[in-house]
Amino acid sequence: MSRSGNSFASMQDGEFTGSLVPHSAVSTPTDADLAFARNAASDVLTRGDKDSSQPWHNPQSGAHGSVTPIANSYAADDGRSCRDFLASYVNSGTERWLQGSACRTPRGHWEIHTLKPWKQG
């Protein structure tokens, strides 16, 4: 996983595996797709609705999905308020789930810290 200067999580090639679809046909989120998902995560976390989801859609790639908080806020080691979420990613007829975490910055914005394939378990 890499992050750009705007606190935006991105995926590395090859992180989606274990599908019945050949690897070459699996859609991997682009940085632009992840920007839309990141904005949706920030929106739904800012609202603070306990049982709420926020849809997202990238009109350029056709990718879409939703972001849903999955846990109550918790305090990080540095004292910031953090929250975990699930994000769906749908593109080219395939659906993937990502798990992420975000923490509130001192200015009140939510910064995405992790975004990786969800492992049920």
Given a contact cutoff of 8 angstroms between Cβ atoms, the answer to whether 86 and 98 are in contact is yes
Taking the domains of the chain in order of start, what are their residue ranges? Answer: 2-6+29-117
pTM of the model: 0.72
Give pLDDT tens digits along the chain (121 positions).
Answer: 333 343 334 444 444 433 344 444 456 888 999 999 999 999 999 887 667 899 999 999 999 999 999 888 899 988 899 999 999 999 988 999 999 999 999 888 899 988 888 876 6
Residue keyed to tokens 């935006």: 8
Return the SS3 of 8.
coil
